[in-house]
Amino acid sequence: METNHQHKIVCWNITKIFIQKGTQRVHVLDDISLDVKNNEFVVILGPGQSGKSTLLRIIAGLETPTTGKVLLDGKEVAGPGPDRGLVFQSYMLFPWKTVMGNVELGPKLRGVPKRERREIASYYINLVGLQAFENHYPHQLSGGMKQRVGIARAYVNNPEVMLLDEPFGQLDAQTRYFMEKETARIWETEKRTVLFVTNNIEEAIYLGDRIISLKGKLPGHMHKTYEVNLPRPREHTEMKFLELRHEITEASELTL
């Protein structure tokens, strides 16, 4: 096994089999190998039931792979930790905490003193554009705003890697476009290595430096990799954007 230190994340022959009800085996991922360079924005694109969320949870350390390894900076991932920030599809904000309370939780758990952690949290709340909503509770926010909190909460620990699991899957189309723009803007301001899971081809092309597409149904396996060499900020109607979109659509089962 080679460990290339240029690579932030290396997934090496990952297979995942879940055992349900004691005996039933569900084969979710089959032989996934990929690597992500430092500060690269990589999108994992796949239809439903292609194991892409499971792959992200394995990289997060919330699941262990049945075979294979995940390396972060050349070291094997053994469990969840603050060096990776995870953004959930269904937000997973704490309803009993305000926006500030949710965002400052990371530094709070690490024992950062109150004034200091408030300062860090404020910075990221500003970055995601929620400065006027620090004292609001999640149920007072719209879906897009909730996910902004989710993103700020993941960023606040200053993680090496950001992992986003279909973060805009529950938003309406307009809000979704806007949040994609915002994601690109935030990433330009605070560069990180990003792994972004989605089933939306346009979202993948709009955001990714590179798109790794998985093929379903279960078990999910590697399909194709696309380099997106388009200048940022990108336009959905650019000729090259549309060509790439056509190419990916042709090659995948997503259009069904």
Partner 1 sequence: MTTATTTIADEIKLEVKERRPFSLAAFLKNRWFLYTVSLSAFFGIWTFVDYTKVLGNGIAAPNAVVVQIFRLLTDTIAGKTIFGHIWASTHRVLIGFSIAASIAVPLGILMALNRYINAIVKPVFDLLKPMPPFAWISCAILWFGIGEPSKVFIIVVGTFVPCLLNSYMGIRLIEPQLYDVIRMLGGNRKDEILQVGFPAAFPAIFAGLQISLSIAWTCVLSAELVSARSGLGFVIIVGMQLSKPALVLAGMVVLAFVAWATTLLVTYLEKYLCPWKREAVAL
Cα 180 to Cα 167: distance, rounded to the nearest angstrom: 10
- For partner 1, the binding residue among 51, 65, 85, 219 (CB under 8 A) is 85
- For partner 1, the binding residue among 64, 67, 90, 225 (CB under 8 A) is 90
Tokens of 103: 């965002």
112-141 binders of partner 1 (CB under 8 A): 137-139
Per-residue x/- track, 42-81, partner 1 (CB under 8 A): ------------------x-x----------------xxx
CA distances from 51 to 77, 83, 104, 110, 199 (A): 19, 23, 31, 32, 11
- For partner 1, the binding residue among 5, 25, 110, 236 (CB under 8 A) is 110
- For partner 1, the binding residue among 15, 38, 105, 230 (CB under 8 A) is 105
As measured in angstroms, the least distance from the Cβ of 95 to partner 1 is 5
Binding part of the chain for partner 1, among 8-16, 93-101, 197-205, 242-250 by CB under 8 A, reads 93-101
As measured in angstroms, the least distance from the Cβ of 85 to partner 1 is 7
Q: Which of 24, 29, 33 is nearest to 52 (CA)?
A: 29
Interface with partner 1 (CB under 8 A), residue total: 27
CA distances from 13 to 31, 66, 69, 130, 162 (A): 5, 10, 7, 41, 22
Query: What is the bridge-based pairing of β-strands 161-165 and 193-198?
Result: parallel
Kindly list the strands in the beta sheet with 221-227, ordered across the sheet, starting from the edge strand earlier in the chain: 84-87, 161-165, 193-198, 41-45, 210-215, 221-227
Q: Which of 143, 107, 142, 141 is nearest to 124 (CA)?
A: 107
56, 165 contact by CB (below 8 A): yes
Indicate the residue among 18 and 88 with the shorter CB distance to partner 1. 88
138-197 binders of partner 1 (CB under 8 A): 138-139, 142, 153-154, 157
Indicate the residue among 94 and 178 with the shorter CB distance to partner 1. 94
199, 43 contact by CB (below 8 A): no
As measured in angstroms, the least distance from the Cβ of 228 to partner 1 is 28
Q: Is 254 in the site for partner 1 (CB under 8 A)?
A: no
For binding to partner 1 (CB under 8 A), which residues are involved?
Answer: 60, 62, 79-82, 84-86, 88, 90, 92, 94-97, 105-106, 109-110, 137-139, 142, 153-154, 157
